[in-house]
Structure 1
Amino acid sequence: MSTFLFLLPPSEGKRTGGNGENEVLSFPFPKPKTIACSASDKDLKCSGKRYAEALELNQKVGNTPTCSAIERYNGVMYHALDYPNLSQTGKVFFNKHFLILSGYYGLLKPQDRICNYKLPIATKGLYDFWGEKITKTLMELQPQLIISLLPHDYLKMLINKASKELRKSFGGKFVHLQFLDQEGKKLIHNSKSIKGERIKKLSEKAIQNQEDLMTFLQTSDEKLAMLNLLEKL
């Protein structure tokens, strides 16, 4: 496995349909289907007809068309990343060094094939369901460096009481990146698109050396003053 790994969130926005018949998953996690199929309208952040459609979508996971995770997720960050137009070198780098955390699937590689679903990470019972499972799998991959680009709600899938002892035994380094504006404040406006653009640049550079990688991550540009590296694990 890669000596360094980036962790990305999925997106609420997802492409419908797909051209595959079966899921292809790199990590054999159990799925929280019961939670997904009994989630409240508040949990799924929709109501009425849209809520009924979301429940039906979750009930049919495993029996609906699939596509790669990088095709499925099409929110703002993924749109800015623009994976289809990366060079072949950029695609190889991204596929090797990036993993996506999903409330339904756990950990995904970009080319894993998944069904469409709707399951926000803060859905009742989901944190307890995942417990230490995702952290344990990450530790087993034995990366020297894990770099989180996760929002707080997804970071809680890793940093929780259930995984405390596992995290103590991790021999590598874990950092969480905060995007800061030119005044040194946490970036809020356009943060997802800027994050996607930075990932795109990183993938095209295909940096392999950790020292060069950290230098790139903390390099300013016209939109970003710096990245604040917070050790979290």
Structure 2
Amino acid sequence: MTVLLPPSETKREGGDPTRTLDLGALSFPELADERAAVITAARSVSSEESTARTALKLGPRSIAERFRNLALDGAPTLPAIERYTGVLYDPLEAASADQATTRWWADHVVVQSAMFGPVGAGDRIPAYRLSHDSRLGALRLAKHWPDAAARALATRSSGLVLDLRSEGYRALGPVSDAVVLRVVSIGAGGRRTALNHWNKTAKGRLVSLLGRSAPDVADMDDLVAWAEEHGVAVERTADGWDLVAESLEPVRA
């Protein structure tokens, strides 16, 4: 089983200063040239405040994030699963997870980064600023990543591929046979409503539970059986597969 996650705009600062970025040590090392090209382009647009503001969509409060892209080579690194923060990643509590959980994530979770392409959850990366829709001059992420990332993902994606990425990041690394899980809320009369912002929280809770229970999942039948065992509703519909957000709400005392 492979779980595909989007990155997050927000990143945790810091990391191990003795372990800086090593493109050759990242998962999918065949993407080294593509990664180097994006880093070069990101560094170029980040070198001036005026170009960084437009290219990276930075406001007055975030403009300093351009300096992250200028310091990628020597910046401290963290595992990707710890680097990202926000409503999807906070429920993971990755920094305090035990070794068995961290190992399951490293073996089964891939994050689709705009800067580095797909990376394993355990890959060590620095903080950076780049989104799927960032503008890097002649280098267009929407053309640069899809073919190369899709080929790389195909080498790892045997068995079930559960795609929890947002649309913009799915486009950067298409996986044709992946199962896209839609997060829904069920209201009065059983009406299903697809969630937007808060769908990330449900996805984070799902990946947290997967890591901490470390299931052996080969296909959707296995995933549904695991979900039922843990009180999580993963349901087949006419449109695909739904994850019911309420089934992942924390139990209140």
Q: Is the 8 A contact 1:181 1:226 kept in 2?
A: no
Task: Report the CA distance between 1:50 and its aligned residue.
Answer: 3.5
Task: Report the CA distance between 1:227 and its aligned residue.
Answer: 7.2
Count of aligned positions:
215
Aligned to 2:27: 26
* Aligned-partner residue type, residue 120 of structure 2: K
Separation of aligned partners in 1, 2:196 and 2:128: 27
Deviations 1:145-169 (A, max 9, x none): 211000111011123xxx9xxx5xx
Q: Is the 8 A contact 1:184 1:225 kept in 2?
A: no
Aligned to 1:155: 170
Separation of aligned partners in 1, 2:153 and 2:183: 24
Aligned to 1:112: 123
Secondary structure at 1:204's aligned position in 2?
helix
Alignment counterpart, residue 86 of structure 2, candidates 75, 100, 113: 75
Q: Which runs of 5+ in 1 are unaligned?
A: 168-172
Cα distance 1:50–1:185, how it changes in 2: closer, same or farther (>3 A)? Answer: closer
Secondary structure at 2:111's aligned position in 1?
strand
Deviations 1:6-55 (A, max 9, x none): 1001111101122133224122223202331316424422135743x233
Separation of aligned partners in 2, 1:42 and 1:131: 23
Task: Report the CA distance between 1:218 and its aligned residue.
Answer: 7.6
Mean alpha-carbon deviation: is it higher for 183-192 or for 111-120? 183-192
Cα distance 1:221–1:117, how it changes in 2: closer, same or farther (>3 A)? Answer: same
Q: Is the 8 A contact 2:227 2:234 kept in 1?
A: no
Aligned to 1:86: 97
Q: Is the 8 A contact 2:110 2:119 kept in 1?
A: yes
Secondary structure at 1:185's aligned position in 2?
strand
Equivalences for 1:1-233 in 2 at 5 Å? 4-19=1-16, 20-23=18-21, 24-28=25-29, 29=31, 30-31=34-35, 32-37=38-43, 38=45, 40-48=52-60, 50-51=62-63, 53-124=64-135, 125-159=140-174, 173-182=177-186, 183-188=191-196, 190-210=198-218, 211-217=221-227, 226=235, 230=240
- Structure number, greater radius of gyration: 2
Task: Report the CA distance between 1:117 and its aligned residue.
Answer: 0.6
Secondary structure at 1:181's aligned position in 2?
strand
Cα distance 1:155–1:218, how it changes in 2: closer, same or farther (>3 A)? Answer: farther
- TM-score, normalised via structure 1 length: 0.80
Q: Is the 8 A contact 2:104 2:211 kept in 1?
A: yes
- TM-score, normalised via structure 2 length: 0.74
Task: Report the CA distance between 1:57 and its aligned residue.
Answer: 1.8
Q: Is the 8 A contact 1:220 1:226 kept in 2?
A: no
Secondary structure at 1:121's aligned position in 2?
coil
Q: Which runs of 5+ in 2 are unaligned?
A: 46-50, 242-253
Q: RMSD of aligned C-alpha atoms?
A: 2.7
Separation of aligned partners in 2, 1:139 and 1:114: 22
* Aligned-partner residue type, residue 58 of structure 2: C
Aligned residues with identical type, % of pairs = 26
Q: Is the 8 A contact 1:35 1:126 kept in 2?
A: no
Q: Is the 8 A contact 2:114 2:131 kept in 1?
A: yes
Cα distance 1:219–1:184, how it changes in 2: closer, same or farther (>3 A)? Answer: farther
Deviations 1:184-226 (A, max 9, x none): 221235222221112111222221133321334588968x685
Separation of aligned partners in 2, 1:110 and 1:213: 20
